[in-house]
Amino acid sequence: MAKRKDSAKENLAAKCSLCEKVVSEKDLGIQCELCEAWFHASCSGVGDIYTFLGKCDNLHWFCNQCNKNARKTLLSLTRVEDKINKVEQEMSTLRADFDVRFGGVSKEVEALKCEKVKLGQELNKLKEVVDRELLKVTNDVKKEVDDCMTLFQQDVTNKMEDAIDKKLDFKSIQLEQMKESITQTQAKVDEQKDKEERINNIIIYRVPESQSQNASERGNDDKRFVEQLLCGLQVGIVPEDIKKVMRLGKLTDDTSRGPRPLLVYLYSRIAKNLVMEGLYKLKSMETKFRSVIIAHDMTKLERQECKSLVQEAKQRTENETGEWVHRVRGPPGKMHIVRIRIARQ
Going residue by residue through the chain, which has 345 residues, state the pLDDT in tens, using 9 for 90 and above: 444 444 434 444 588 988 988 888 788 888 888 888 888 888 888 877 777 777 776 777 788 888 877 777 777 778 888 888 888 888 888 877 766 666 666 677 778 888 888 888 888 888 888 888 777 777 776 777 788 888 888 888 888 888 888 888 888 898 889 898 898 899 889 989 998 999 999 999 999 999 889 999 999 999 999 999 999 999 999 999 999 999 998 888 877 788 999 999 999 999 999 999 999 999 999 999 999 999 999 999 988 998 999 999 999 988 887 788 998 888 888 889 998 888 665
CATH of the domain at 32: 3.30.40.10
Domain boundary among 47, 62, 77: 62
**One domain for residues 203 and 261:** yes
Q: Is 239 inside a domain boundary?
A: yes
Helix axes 139-198, 300-318, angle to 10 degrees: 80
Predicted confidence at residue 230, as pLDDT, reads 94
**One domain for residues 234 and 327:** no
Q: Is 80 inside a domain boundary?
A: no
Domain boundary among 196, 220, 249: 196
Q: Is 2 inside a domain boundary?
A: no
Q: Is 241 inside a domain boundary?
A: yes
**One domain for residues 44 and 131:** no
Q: Is 184 inside a domain boundary?
A: yes
**One domain for residues 215 and 311:** no
**One domain for residues 127 and 186:** yes
**One domain for residues 264 and 211:** yes
**One domain for residues 54 and 93:** no
Domain extent, residue 113, equals 88-196
Amino acid at the residue 113: K
Question: Residue 213: is it exposed, middle or buried by C-beta count within 10 angstroms (0-12/13-18/19+)?
Answer: exposed
**One domain for residues 171 and 113:** yes
The 8-class DSSP code of residue 327 comes to E
CATH of the domain at 285: 3.30.70.1820
How far, in Å, CA of 285 to CA of 232, rounded?
7
CA triplet 236, 238, 243: central angle to 5 degrees? 125
**From its phi and psi, is residue 327 left (phi > 0), alpha (psi between -120 and 50) or beta?**
beta
Predicted confidence at residue 104, as pLDDT, reads 63
**One domain for residues 183 and 236:** no
Q: Is 69 inside a domain boundary?
A: no
Predicted confidence at residue 225, as pLDDT, reads 95
Domain boundary among 129, 161, 196: 196
**One domain for residues 247 and 317:** no
**One domain for residues 123 and 188:** yes
Predicted confidence at residue 344, as pLDDT, reads 61
The SS3 assignment for 292 reads coil
How far, in Å, CA of 230 to CA of 273, rounded?
12
Q: Is 163 inside a domain boundary?
A: yes
Predicted confidence at residue 167, as pLDDT, reads 85
How many structural domains does the chain have? 4
How far, in Å, CA of 333 to CA of 99, rounded?
34
Q: Is 208 inside a domain boundary?
A: yes
User: Shortest CA distance to 105 belongs to which of 38, 152, 173, 157?
Assistant: 173
